[in-house]
Amino acid sequence: MKPLIAGSLLALLATQAQAATIAMEDQSQIPTPSASAHAEYFKPPAESELPDNAYGKLVRDGYALFVDTKRLAPQFVGNGLNCSNCHLDQGRLANSAPLWGAYPMYPAYRKKNDKVNTFAERLQGCFQFSMNGGQPPAADSREITALSVYAYWLASKAPLGVELPGRGYPEVAQPAKGYDLKQGAVVYQAQCSVCHGPQGQGQKVGADYVMPPLWGKDSYNWGAGMHRINTAASFIKHNMPLGKGGSLSDQQAWDVAAYVNSHERPQDPRLVEGSIEKTRIKFHANDGVNLYGQTVDGVLIGQGIR
């Protein structure tokens, strides 16, 4: 990390780290404009509406696991992330793959594993890839049950099987010129590194991340949805820089998504016979736009981190 010389930059960093600490303690204060409060989006219930019984308690357990995953389920988390790092505002924010948009859409067919996935299996997938967690919690485990009940509660009164506006990370089409890794580096250093670090390493206070890493050993692995440049571009366009979602052009979002996803991260746990090329053909060749198994500037991407 380069030494920070400008005092104003240091001050900015301090405010941002402070904001992130607040966000960890009280997610309602997160500095993101709450798209879910917007009239056109589904409105999930408020915490004050929770009943004071076993159901309310299970919902709260699920909420806690969602925002504090690494601490509460360490045996299932192999990196430095929490679910809410990618599903912002406690899984409530529209265009940030909100849980209320997801829950009513399962069971669903998924190309990724070519079968019908239950909601529990979808959660297990995020543990395995986004959280780099190894063997995910069992479908009937305490963790999957609590997270499912939390999602069910957020989706209260939502129609079943109807794709709601704000579900997922709405697709940002690839610009006609494609993407440019060098321009992505420029966007990154100007707009992202202040929080995520010049080497994408995030920022820690003690053992805990207050700013999540974007690459390296504590990031999502090569099998995660976010490794696709198109998916990361969509997430970034709608949600980053934090608090300024929608401010990047589509081109900037694609460039910086490609730059982030050209960096090493933990290996795809589906690695076929130890071969990056076989894994690329089987799992990455038809999985959106991604750099896994390709050579950029003479370096093979997808080697993973041990």
Sign of the C-alpha dihedral computed for residues 249, 251, 256 and 261 taken in this order: positive
CB of 5 to ligand HEC, least distance (A): 19
Residue 238 makes contact with ligand HEC by CB under 6 A: no
CB of 112 to ligand HEC, least distance (A): 9
Residue 211 makes contact with ligand HEC by CB under 6 A: yes
Using CB under 6 A, which of the segments 98-106, 263-271, 282-290, 296-304 binds ligand HEC? 98-106
CB of 25 to ligand HEC, least distance (A): 12
CB of 273 to ligand HEC, least distance (A): 27
The burial class, CB within 10 Å (0-12 / 13-18 / 19+), for 54 is exposed
Contact status, residue 283 vs residue 267, Cβ threshold 8 Å: no
Distance CA(59)–CA(114), nearest Å, equals 31
The CA–CA distances, whole Å, from 229 to 67, 212, 251 equal 25, 18, 12
Minimum CB distance to ligand HEC smaller for 75 or for 295: 75
CB of 122 to ligand HEC, least distance (A): 5
Distance CA(248)–CA(187), nearest Å, equals 9
Residue 192 makes contact with ligand HEC by CB under 6 A: yes
- Within 258-287, which residues bind ligand HEC (CB under 6 A)? 260
Cβ contacts of 172 within 8 Å, gap of 6 or more: 230, 233, 234, 237, 238, 250, 253, 254
The token pair that represents 301 in the structure block: 């991407």
Residue 167 makes contact with ligand HEC by CB under 6 A: yes
| Single residue of 35, 58, 94, 105 touching ligand HEC by CB under 6 A | 105
Neighbour-count burial for 138-148, b at 16+ CB within 10 Å, e otherwise: eeeeebbbbbb
Give Cα 242 distance to the centre of its chain: 13
CB of 243 to ligand HEC, least distance (A): 6
End-to-end CA distance of the chain: 22
CB of 184 to ligand HEC, least distance (A): 9
| Single residue of 58, 123, 229, 291 touching ligand HEC by CB under 6 A | 123
Binding residues for ligand HEC, rule: CB under 6 A, are: 16, 20, 23, 30, 69, 81, 83-88, 97, 99, 101-102, 105, 122-123, 126-127, 130-131, 147, 167-169, 191-192, 194-196, 211-214, 219-220, 224-226, 231-232, 235-236, 240-242, 248, 256, 260
